[in-house]
Amino acid sequence: MQVLGSNIEEQWMRSLNLGFTNWIVESKAFGKDELTTPSPLFSYAISASSLWKIQLYYPMIAMAMENPSSSTKDARLQFSLNYQQFESVIQLRYKLNFKENWIDINVNVDNIRCNLIRLVSETLMEKQGYGSDEKHFPSRISLQLTPLLQSDILSVTVTKSTDNPAHEVGIEKTIESSFEPPKSVGFSISSTGTVLLSLKPWKFEQSVYGDSAILNWILHDSVNGREVFSSKPPKFALCQPKSWFRNRYTRAYRPFTREGGVIFAEDEYGESICWKVREAAIGKTMEWEIKGKIWLTYWPNKRRTHHSETRFLEFNELVRLSIEN
């Protein structure tokens, strides 16, 4: 596939997954709801020029549901949600620093790009569905990086601290006074302080498990601060056109690109992870396992509906790193 070049590869995968989506839709139309199919996930990894790159393609119709009972019966909404393809590029940059008695292997995010691409024309999307803007959006991305040759690992260090946000506590102040002429008159004046807490929609976390480093990007509801991938939109917000998830791809403060995807780059997420390795590892080629899980959530965009759902995919790739001075 790499010989074809990126543009032809993308067109080929969209054509292939359009055929796969049609096959699943037709099979379900004939009552084969429990159809068992091989995973349609297509992924590959490249290790070159101090870069690890993973490419992912996955048709939305084949993704597992976080809550299978939440599927919609609206055929037009199903069409808009199912005839989409998830595409992602994960690029991690590594650098070797040779010390007197050990080697530091530093890994940081170069680019993580996630997009949802319609598999049919916009005309057909409008005719049989509700348009291509009624689609899922990335709501959580989790990566786990593990060196498979762990006998040479001395320690793992992350560079991002746990968030420690400051917030103010509102204090209600009340002033009361009264007058007592022949006819008693009283009045009171009260003032209440309101707390405004500014939250970024995407929260980034680093953690360590054994010799593995775990990276998490989690989208939060800007109204109540809840994690989007594991919650439903508030019922009152579904009726409000100014809710953050309504018309979410055209708002100035949207947490997505105009096309509905996300990009995480080193300008904001460039914190590195450092593995300290024994000097004996020089001359070896280390294999690293990169495991990932990506959640994609649907909340209504322009359509008035109470339906919401979250789907997810998992992948596992091996990359290599040669320790040469």
Give the pLDDT confidence score for residue 32 in this predicted structure. 66
Closest alpha carbon to 290 in 96, 105, 44: 44
Helices and strands, number each (H, E), in the chain: 5, 15
Question: Which pLDDT does position 34 carry in this prediction?
Answer: 57
| Confidence (pLDDT) at 203 | 93
**CA separation for the pair 131, 188 (Å, rounded):** 56
> Tell me, what DSSP letter sits at residue 63?
S
Alpha-carbon dihedral of residues 42, 47, 53, 56, nearest 10 degrees? 0
Q: Residue 4 has what pLDDT?
A: 65
Q: pLDDT means per 10 residues in the chain (325 residues)?
A: 75 94 89 65 93 96 87 92 97 95 96 97 96 96 96 93 64 48 51 56 94 96 87 83 86 88 91 94 96 97 92 96 91
Q: What is the pLDDT of residue 87?
A: 97
3-state secondary structure of 112: strand
Give pLDDT, residue 299: 95
CB 264 within 8 A of CB 99: no
> Domain residues of the chain, as ranges?
2-162+196-322
CA angle 17, 20, 25 (to 5 degrees): 125
pLDDT at 174: 47
Question: What is residue 283's DSSP assignment?
Answer: T
* Torsion, Cα of 79, 304, 312, 86 (10° steps): 50
Whole-number Å distance between alpha carbons of 313 and 24: 17
Note the pLDDT of residue 31: 74
